[in-house]
Amino acid sequence: MKHFIKSSVLLTLLMIVFIGLYTMIVYALGKVLPNHGEGEQINADGKRHYANIAQQFKSPNYFHPRPSSVNYNAAGSGGSNKGPTNEELLDVIRKRIDTVKMQNPEMANVPVPVELLTASGSGLDPDISVKGAEYQIKRVAKARNLDEAKIKELVAQNTALCVFGPSKVNVLKLNLALDQIK
């Protein structure tokens, strides 16, 4: 019995040291890396925005992000926790399909990219795929009375290439770039 208690205490102390060291190393790395662990901040029009947290854009003049299961509230990130066969989720997605197609009538015969219909696990994903951005180009160009080629160029300029996945577009950065066009 004493052998088990001794092993348990030693393992507990070892884990406290390991977790403490790990936490200090991660914290120190966060402080020396760019943005000092604060996330990417963008100041525009006197407001501070965080590029790594989704922002809600409803106007047809802007690209829309992924839906959010937490209403874009960074204090309460989380998913809906509903599986792909859940009837409530399927009803929500059907409504989103109708909404997205209504907002983008020029794309009625094009399948809606999945990230415009489903929320991410955190509900705060700031990025959409290139296809998700391209799906919205016609609407944004029409709403802003701009040439589609100019908007496509802007999407290309704001596309980040990813090493471990598909390229992505940060919706906030793209919309701020849109506002810079005269």
Residue 128's pLDDT is what? 95
Question: Mean per-residue pLDDT for 155-165?
Answer: 90
Q: Are 54 and 125 in contact (CB under 8 A)?
A: yes
Residue 123's pLDDT is what? 82
- 90 and 4 fall within a common domain: no
Question: Mean per-residue pLDDT for 102-123?
Answer: 91
Residue 34's pLDDT is what? 76
**Which has the higher per-residue pLDDT, 33 or 68?**
68
Question: Mean per-residue pLDDT for 104-108?
Answer: 91
Question: What is the band of 143 on the pLDDT scale with cuts at 50, 70, 90?
Answer: very high
83-87, 161-165, 170-174, range with the lowest pLDDT: 161-165
Question: What is the band of 122 on the pLDDT scale with cuts at 50, 70, 90?
Answer: confident
Predicted confidence (pLDDT) at residue 113 exceeds the cutoff of 80: yes
Average pLDDT over the chain, rounded to an integer? 90
Question: Mean per-residue pLDDT for 44-61?
Answer: 87
Residue 94's pLDDT is what? 95
Backbone angles phi, psi at 21, to 5 degrees: -65, -45
CA neighbours closer than 13 Å in the CB half-sphere of residue 27? 6
Whole domain around residue 10: which residue ranges?
A: 1-38
- 91 and 159 fall within a common domain: yes
- 176 and 151 fall within a common domain: yes
SS (H, E, C) 132-174: HHHHHHHHHHHHHCCCHHHHHHHHHHCEECCCCCCCEEEHHHH
**Which has the higher per-residue pLDDT, 72 or 155?**
155
- 58 and 23 fall within a common domain: no
- 51 and 138 fall within a common domain: yes
Over residues 10-52, the pLDDT tens digits come to 999 999 999 999 999 999 888 888 777 777 888 888 888 888 8
Q: 46-77 burial, b for 16+ CB within 10 Å, e for fewer?
A: eeebbbbbbbebeeebbbbbbbbbbebebeeb
Domain count within the chain: 2
Predicted confidence (pLDDT) at residue 147 exceeds the cutoff of 90: yes
- 75 and 136 fall within a common domain: yes
- 57 and 30 fall within a common domain: no
